[in-house]
Amino acid sequence: MTTKQSAPPADLIRIHHLNKVYRMGGETLNALDNVSLTVREGDFVAIVGPSGSGKSTLMNVIGCLDTASSGEYWLDGEEISRLRENKLAEIRNRKIGFIFQGFNLLTKLTAIENVELPLVYRGVPAKQRRQQAIEALGKVGLAERIHHRPVELSGGQQQRVAIARALAGNPPILLADEPTGALDTKTGIEVMGFIRELNSLGHTIVLITHDPDISRQAKRIVRIQDGRLHEEEARAE
Would you say 151 and 193 are in contact if contact means Cβ atoms under 8 Å apart?
A: no
Label residues 121-150 b or e (16+ Cβ within 10 Å = b).
Answer: eeebeeeebbebbbebbebbebeebbebbb
Q: Is the pLDDT of residue 133 over 60?
A: yes
pLDDT (tens digit, 9 = 90+) per residue, 47-67? 999 888 999 999 999 999 988
**To which H or E segment does residue 12 belong?**
strand 11-24
Query: Residue 223: what are its φ and ψ, rounded to 5°?
Result: -95, 140
Domains of the chain (ranges; CATH) run 43-67+85-231 (3.40.50.300)
pLDDT (tens digit, 9 = 90+) per residue, 98-114? 998 888 999 999 999 99
**To which H or E segment does residue 73 belong?**
strand 70-75
Would you say 175 and 163 are in contact if contact means Cβ atoms under 8 Å apart?
A: no
What's the pLDDT at 236? Answer: 46
Q: Which among 64, 19, 57, 62 is positioned nearest to 43, based on CA atoms? A: 62
